[in-house]
Chains A and B, each alone.
Chain A
Amino acid sequence: MKIDFEHRQAAHCESGVTSNLLYTNSNGKITEPLAFGIGAGLFYVHIPFIKINNGPAIAFRTLPGHIFNRTCKSLGIPVVRKKFYSKEKAQAFLNECLTNGKPVGCQVGVYYLPYFPKEYRFHFNAHNLIVYGQKDDNYLVSDPIMENATTLGTYELERVRFAKGALAPKGHIYYPKTAAKITDDQIRLAIKSGIKKNVYNMLSIPGSFAGVSGIKNTGLKIKKWRDQLGLEKAGLYLAQLVRMQEEIGTGGGGFRYIYGAFLQEAEAYLPGYQLTDSSNLFTQAGDMWRTSAVHAAGIYKGRLGSQADFDIMGDYLIEIAGVEKRAFETLKKIKW
């Protein structure tokens, strides 16, 4: 059983999966940046009182599942998504989809994902991949972050689909329900709605843990980390920040570059709104995030470590918050 599906590598798993699952519907027009932007993927959140891997809980993107859901909804494509208590039912449903010729998206945990390098195996449960067929005892798998398509055994796939811990996937499976064609007008509407949603998420969520105020708040916290945590632990915290920001799946600069690419592509659909100018601001923000990562590396490598170094690090984030605030306020003011 082989489904007509071509593996295409992407930077980020969920927007890659979304773009690849919508390939036929959109005739390849929904690129990864478009999927990311329409899905309002850009975010920042620093959740207080929660630790992940003994470090701060920070994310640069929206909640898992939202990008696929929002992108399909905005484009008028109905979605099928299911979670399961029973592993047997989850597998039976998957097999049924494949028999019907549908490639499907699956949410998985990476801890027991065999083709991942050991260094990357944490209990991170919001990874996404596409299953597009079966061959002998193996499932054919297209993991967007990998250069080539790969395979997983029945047990291997079951284990990652039923990984446990925070955001446990519970066999989560999803795909576009119909092969309806996506028109350029739909794309235009979807881009506007995606930008509006992202403006809200970054500027208007109450409290100081999310959006641009979240970035500023982390900046203020970093200045206190050296005294509060001691140099070693503060270094660990910064390393975790850098990993969330730059690791595989981000496209670099905490997803800011992908968003920049999205706005450039959006300009082609919606000229006259100076979206390219806004794109430049996100490129600038991405560059600043990377500069701050180099500084952070100086601290966790032990080359830097004074309070002044932590102050500089905190100021980087406060400055970034300013740039992103300006960028989103510009987008907010657009009269569509």
Chain B
Amino acid sequence: MKKDEIPQDLGALGKITKEVCYATDSSGKYTTELSTGWDVKTTALDVAWTDIEKRIASAKQKVINKEASPLLFFMEYRLMDTSILADYTGFWQWQIKRHLKPEIFSNLSEKKLQKYAEAFNIKVNDLKTMTVHED
């Protein structure tokens, strides 16, 4: 890549910091230059987030339909699969899968709910009611 071909499209990161790119100058020598972003990768990130939003919305519907517990919603919201959630909470994955059932979730002890709330960085009450405070 030539130095003067480095894209300067404003992406999410560009609002906070510019990033270092390596490129060649007119004599072919490598040098660094700051870039505010490239729309090709901004779109790649957008595509990923649109998919995540879709998953969150579908999880929310499942919880409303009583097909899943609010755990599913917050897992999608926090981009966690059962394995990551197991690491954060100390539960086994099979336990988490059980807790994804609404009838079992509704009987969970306060102590267990607290563990989940901590992993999601939310309050127990918000976990039960599926409430999100933007952070």
The residues of A with any CB-CB pair to B shorter than 8 Å are 9-11, 33, 53-55, 111-112, 115-120, 122-123, 145-148, 164-166, 168, 235-236, 239-240, 242-243, 246-248, 251-253, 257-258, 260-261, 264-265, 279-280, 283, 286-287, 290, 293-294, 296-297, 300-301
In the complex, A119→B79 CA distance in Å?
12
Q: How far is the CA of A145 from the CA of B1 in the complex (A)?
A: 20
User: Which residues of chain A have C-beta atoms less than 8 A from B21's C-beta?
Assistant: 11, 251-252, 257
**Contact, CB under 8 Å: A297 / B121:** no
**B48 proximal to A (CB < 8 A):** yes
Residues in chain B near residue A116, CB distance under 8 A? 16
From B6, B30, B79, B80, A260 is in contact (CB under 8 Å) with B30
Given A11-B32, A168-B87, A294-B40: A119 and B51 interface contact (C-beta under 8 Å): no
Indicate if the CB atoms of B79 and A236 lie closer than 8 Å: no
Please name all residues of chain B whose beta carbon is closer than 8 Å to the beta carbon of A148 when the two chains form the complex. 17
Partner of B22, one of A119, A243, A252: A252
Q: Please indicate the chain A residues that have their CB under 8 angstroms from the CB of B47 in the complex.
A: 235-236, 239, 300
Judging by beta carbons under 8 Å apart, are B87 and A165 in contact?
yes
Q: How far is the CB of A190 from chain B (nearest CB, A)?
A: 19
B79 pairs with A122, CB closer than 8 A? yes
Q: How far is the CA of A166 from the CA of B83 in the complex (A)?
A: 9
A236 near B51 (CB under 8 angstroms)?
A: yes
Residues of B within 8 Å of A54, CB to CB, are 51
Determine whether B18 belongs to the interface, using a CB cutoff of 8 Å to chain A.
Answer: yes
Chain B residues with Cβ below 8 Å from A147 are 17-18, 34
Assuming the contacts A119-B45, A165-B83, A300-B43, asked whether A145 and B19 have C-beta atoms less than 8 A apart, the reply is yes
Among B15, B41, B83, the residue within 8 A (CB) of A243 is: B41
Decide: B40 and A297 in contact? CB cutoff 8 A.
yes
Known contacts A146-B16, A260-B24, A264-B29; can you find 12 more A-B pairs with CB under 8 A?
A11-B32, A111-B78, A117-B15, A164-B87, A236-B51, A242-B44, A243-B44, A246-B38, A246-B44, A252-B23, A294-B40, A300-B43
A234 to B: closest C-beta gap in Å:
11
B88: A residues at CB distance < 8 A: 164
A242 CB, nearest partner CB in chain B, Å: 4
**How many B residues touch A, CB cutoff 8 Å?**
38
Q: Is the CB of B20 within 8 A of A251?
A: yes
CA distance A119 to B53 in the complex (A): 12
Question: Closest CB-CB distance, B134 to chain A, in whole Å?
Answer: 9
- Residue of B38, B39, B49 touching A119 (CB-CB under 8 A): B49
Evaluate whether A293 and B41 lie within 8 angstroms (CB atoms) in the complex, with A236-B51, A252-B22 already known: yes
Interface core residue of A10, A55, A252, A294 (most chain B CB under 10 Å): A252
Q: How far is the CA of A148 from the CA of B79 in the complex (A)?
A: 29
Residues of A within 8 A of B12 (CB): 117-120
B84 within 8 A of A: yes
Question: Is B13 interfacial (CB-CB < 8 Å)?
Answer: yes
Kindly list chain B residues whose C-beta atoms are within 8 Å of the C-beta of A248: 13, 19
Please, which residues of chain B bring their CB within 8 A of the CB of A164?
A: 84, 87-88
| A112 CB contacts on chain B under 8 angstroms | 121
List, sorted by A's number, 25 A–B pairs whose CB atoms are closer than 8 Å: A9-B20, A11-B22, A53-B79, A115-B16, A119-B45, A120-B13, A120-B45, A145-B17, A147-B34, A148-B17, A165-B83, A166-B84, A239-B43, A239-B44, A239-B48, A240-B44, A242-B40, A242-B41, A252-B1, A252-B21, A252-B22, A252-B23, A261-B22, A261-B30, A297-B43
> Closest 10 CB pairs between A and B?
A164-B87, A261-B30, A257-B22, A119-B12, A239-B44, A11-B20, A165-B84, A239-B47, A242-B44, A297-B40
